[in-house]
Amino acid sequence: MQREQALALVKERIRTRNLFKHTLAVEAVMRRLAAELGQDQDRWGLAGLLHDIDYEETKNDPDRHSQLGADMLAEMGLDEEIVEAVRAHNDRHGLPRTSLLAKALYSTDPLTGLIVAATLVHPERRLAAVDAQFVLNRFGEKSFARGANRRAISACEELGMTLERFIQLGLEAMQGIAEDLGL
């Protein structure tokens, strides 16, 4: 599947503006991580863009989230590694994340939410004004952005990356698409 096809599918299935922006953010970070780790940026970007393809349908049934999406992507003939990364990114299933792609998606998903939340409390409320240390400081505040799973974000170490480097790369990627994110 090409990005244009994936983007059309996302636009068809995701109607919530913030969820759509989230998928763009995860795509951008996944592409940046792929470049950093010598992986295929297009494949990793697709995984990020499509990871929540079923969310609007499953938001009231979190046990189905990512299972339905992964099944849908498999039926469309997407690469098995992408399908399994999408399936395993939801912690509720307890599935092992065996590929580097799956590990990256798992950590990236909540990181984007943390970065957005940090941006929204920054005095300038713009991604360009935020630095990695500001996000890292918010990471340490347990009451801040409680929905951003710190354990999942910290699993970036499975990528051979420090938390600081992971946050820096994620922030850079999202700053690159700040206009699309409205930040």
Q: Model confidence over 61-100: pLDDT tens digits? A: 999 999 999 999 999 999 999 999 999 999 999 999 999 9
Confidence of residue 180 (pLDDT cuts 50, 70, 90): very high
Confidence of residue 154 (pLDDT cuts 50, 70, 90): very high
Pick the CATH number of 3-181 from 1.10.3210, 2.30.30, 1.20.1420, 1.10.3470: 1.10.3210
- What is the reported pLDDT for 13? 96
CA distances in angstroms from 105 to 76, 124, 183, listed in the order given: 20, 29, 22
The Cα 114–Cα 108 span in angstroms is: 10
- 32, 108 in Cβ contact below 8 A? no
High-pLDDT (> 90) share of the chain, %: 99
- What is the reported pLDDT for 140? 95
DSSP 58-108: HTT-TTTTTHHHHHHHHHTT--HHHHHHHHHTSGGG-----SHHHHHHHHH
Confidence of residue 42 (pLDDT cuts 50, 70, 90): very high
Contact partners, residue 128, CB within 8 Å, separation at least 6: 175, 178
Confidence of residue 117 (pLDDT cuts 50, 70, 90): very high
Domain boundaries, the chain: 3-181
The Cα 121–Cα 138 span in angstroms is: 10
Which residue in this structure is represented by tokens 């499509």? Answer: 50
- What is the reported pLDDT for 165? 98
118-142 average pLDDT score: 97
Instruction: List alpha helices for the chain, DSSP H.
Output: 3-13, 17-37, 41-50, 55-58, 67-75, 80-88, 100-121, 132-139, 150-154, 163-176, 178-181
